Copies of this chain bind each other. A is one copy, B any other.
Amino acid sequence: MKITDYPAPETWASLSERPQIDRKTLEKAVDCIFDEVRKDGDKAVLRYAQLFDNARYADLVVDRACIEGATAQIDDSLKKAIAFAYENIMSFHASQLSDLRRLKENKIQTVKGVTCWRETRPIEKVGIYIPGGSAPLFSTVLMLGIPAMLAGCKKIVLCTPADKDGIINPAILYTAGLVGIDTIIRAGGIQAIAAMTFGTESIPRVNKIFGPGNQYVTAAKQKAQLLGTAIDLPAGPSEVLIIADRTADPAFVAADLLSQAEHGPDSQVLLLSDDRSLIENALCETQRQLALLPRKDTAAKALANSKALLMQNIDECFAFSNVYAPEHLIIATDRATQQAAKVTSAGSVFLGAYSCESAGDYASGTNHTLPTGGYAGSCGGVSVESFIKYISFQYITEEGLNNMAGSITAMAAAEGLQAHANAVNVRKQK
């Protein structure tokens, strides 16, 4: 991990750049698989499962007994751990719902006889993609399933890759069952996203697709978006930026850097401080802890691309962080809660020595599906709002329309839209 001393502000934008992926080769694969899934439905999904994963199963839909059977395969201690996280995620997201419920009561009379308000409705059908691969991300089932249930989505489809015999990690099945998701599909990769975009015989078409994935899955979600299916976020490599002052504990900082670095070789890890000895001690401690990790090879690769920046002062650390717009921001200073106001762009912020990122990844209650790659500059993470849509309503009385008639007809005339004015005039003439 390279230390850069006092980078000049004009270099911050380039220091904030994330590695680019070559989209062209991805797009070809995506276009091809989308075309086949649109044409051949289930058959195409199974064909690609055979091609990529040597799949020997023929059933895409996981049956009820299989979901229930997973319960017996999970240790009681893990069940307890999941139940604890479930409660916290539920209570934090339920508080978002109560904010939304107030909207309907917030009716505004903009003019006498003109009442305007908004109401929310659940997105009817949503898809949740859970990657397989090295880490069975059952925690993401909680993070996406709970707000979907709270929002009231009518259909929740979960797609996740199975092994060649059609077996899905039982923790994923168990968690899906706990949340109440009953449509679970053995499908991964581009073909799973294509299936939820078009719908197949077994896989429902959805209005919005959520969930993380590798660069193929992300490219497929972006294709889905072009075809009219909404997506949560274009997920990129995970990121943490830590702002630490001289009061921070180097061992805590090191552990947090490593918990991000182990995600993948392309994970983005940044340490910013106004204190060179804190940086040096934290990096030294990072090497010590790294040696003991099962995923040390992955973490070492991520660290090789990571940056430690010595800044003039803590304010400059925040200024850089706001340019970078990290997915996770840890403020490891003795004035963290007061400094929260300095954050203008970040996905999720962890304040103080005991707020480690892994708490938010699993159990504190906040969502872990967050904007990466600088998207925190324009959007937030997944919340109950991600599963609903706003509809505006207006009720106008005869008096209300009369009060507005002059303004509407003058503006319509100035925009050259006479039929817009006529819609008012025919009503006035009655």
Contact = CB atoms under 8 A, between A and B. Distances in A.
A261 B347 CA distance: 43
Contact of A391 (B252, B348, B390): B348
Contacts of A2: none
A16 to B, nearest CB: 12
A123 B378 contact: yes
Contacts of A91: 108, 110
B364 A394 contact: yes
Interface string A251-284: 1101110110111000000000000000000000
Interface string A179-219: 00000000000000000000000000001100000000000
Contacts of A390: 380-381, 383, 385
A227 B413 CA distance: 39
A66 interface: no
B427 A354 contact: yes
* Copies of the protein in its oligomer: 2
> Which residue of A226, A229, A404, A420 has the most chain B CB atoms within 10 A of its CB atom?
A420
B419 A364 contact: no
Contacts of A337: 395
17 contacts: A23-B226, A77-B410, A92-B116, A136-B416, A228-B375, A229-B378, A293-B418, A294-B416, A295-B417, A347-B392, A349-B393, A351-B394, A352-B396, A354-B400, A354-B401, A354-B427, A380-B392
Nearest to A377: B207
A358 B251 contact: no
Interface in A334-388: 336-337, 340, 343-367, 373-381, 383, 385
Contact of A110 (B293, B346, B364, B424): B364
A423 B256 contact: yes
A312 interface: no
A397 interface: yes
A372 to B, nearest CB: 10
Contacts of A395: 336-337, 351-352, 355
> Which residue of A229, A354, A424 has the most chain B CB atoms within 10 A of its CB atom?
A354
Given A228-B375, A375-B228, A418-B262, A411 B363 contact: yes
Given A379-B389, A394-B350, A398-B354, A410 B102 contact: no
A111 interface: yes
A299 interface: yes
Contacts of A346: 391
A84 interface: yes
Q: Which are the 9 A-B pairs with shortest beta-carbon distances?
A: A380-B390, A81-B410, A230-B378, A110-B365, A88-B110, A358-B420, A84-B407, A81-B407, A262-B419
Interface in A92-116: 92, 95-96, 99, 102-103, 106, 108, 110-111, 114, 116
Nearest to A206: B378
A301 interface: no
A167 B127 CA distance: 48
Given A208-B378, A229-B378, A381-B392, 15 more contacts: A23-B226, A87-B110, A88-B404, A123-B377, A136-B414, A251-B430, A255-B427, A259-B417, A259-B420, A350-B394, A352-B397, A354-B397, A362-B408, A363-B404, A383-B390
B396 A364 contact: yes
A411 B82 contact: yes
A306 interface: no
Nearest to A322: B124
A363 B138 contact: no
A49 interface: no
A111 B87 CA distance: 9
A415 interface: yes
Contacts of A88: 110-111, 114, 404
A263 B379 CA distance: 32
A289 interface: yes
A81 to B, nearest CB: 4
A29 interface: no
